[in-house]
Structure formats: structure tokens, C-alpha cells
Amino acid sequence: MPKKSTYKGLQENVRNLKTPKIDVWRNQYTDKDYVVTLQHPEFTCVCPKTALPDFAAITIQYKPDKVCVELKSFKLYLLFYRDVGIFHEHVINKILDDFVASCRPRWVGIKGEFNMRGGIKTTVTSEYNRS
């Protein structure tokens, strides 16, 4: 009989994961409704169950309000996940939470397209809309 796999407890504190700060700068065009697209085609993290690397293309689209995200700090933020064991669904939602906390956009959508594993391709999308 095969050994029973368990995922219990692997991600209990994911929302409290201490991540690097995402810096911002003042938006001079707060009167405009425009979209900024950020793409990171070489995102990596680690499967919390197998410790194998996961690779993804991350795309973020957001409508800035008072501030915009500073790109170098955001790059360093994304690189932080390289050695973090985290499920695909959790990493996309954690990025969304941290992104919203840093710049309080009018709207943001995040899409993670993870490379195939075991013949299955995973795409996770999450969004925030300040209404």
C-alpha cells in the first residue's frame, strides 16, 4: 500500500511570511486612470512538499493612485521567493497582499503561469479592486 501523503501544516503561517519591503515613489499623474504592466518571466520558488524548484512567469497589471512601485525593490522582493517553499496559489495571493500594502493601487491583477509539472500546467490569477 502506498504511503499516504500529507500537506497538513505546510502553509499555516504563509500570510505572516516576512518579505522584503517594496518601495514606492510619488505619482505625478493621479488625475489619470492608466495601467502599468510588470512582467517577470523567470520567477522561482520551491514546492513546500517536494522541495523541487517551481518556475513561473509573473505578470502584474495595476492602476496606480498616489504612488507607483519602484522596480529595483520589487525585483528584489520577487527574488526573495527563490528559496521559499510555497504553493502556487499562496505565492500569487501573498504577492498581491504585499503589493496592495505597499502602493494602495486603484486596481491590481496578478497572474502566475507556472511551468508544467507532472503534465499539469498551473495558472493562478488574483486581483484587488478598491471600490
Q: Walk along the chain (131 residues) and give the pLDDT tens digit of each residue.
A: 455 556 666 678 889 999 999 999 999 999 999 999 999 999 999 998 888 999 999 999 999 999 999 999 999 999 999 999 999 999 999 999 999 999 999 999 999 999 998 899 999 999 999 97
Residue 23 is among the residues annotated as catalytic for this protein: no
Q: What is the CA radius of gyration of the chain?
A: 16
Residue 105 is predicted with a pLDDT of 98
Name the active-site residue from 31, 45, 54, 65.
54
Q: Beta strands of the chain (E only): which ranges?
A: 24-26, 36-46, 53-63, 67-69, 107-117, 120-129
Residue 47 is among the residues annotated as catalytic for this protein: yes
Residue 3 is predicted with a pLDDT of 52
Residue 81 is predicted with a pLDDT of 96
Q: Are residues 85 and 48 in contact, defined by beta-carbon separation less than 8 angstroms?
A: yes
CA distances from 44 to 4, 77, 83, 86 (A): 28, 12, 8, 10
Looking up cell 520589487 gives 74
All residues at 6 or more sequence positions from 72 whose CB lies less than 8 Å from its CB, including other chains = 23
Name the active-site residue from 23, 47, 68, 98.
47
Spatial distance between the Cα atoms of 38 and 32, rounded to a whole number of angstroms? 19
- Domains of the chain, earliest start first: 34-129 (3.30.1130.10)
Residue 7 is predicted with a pLDDT of 66
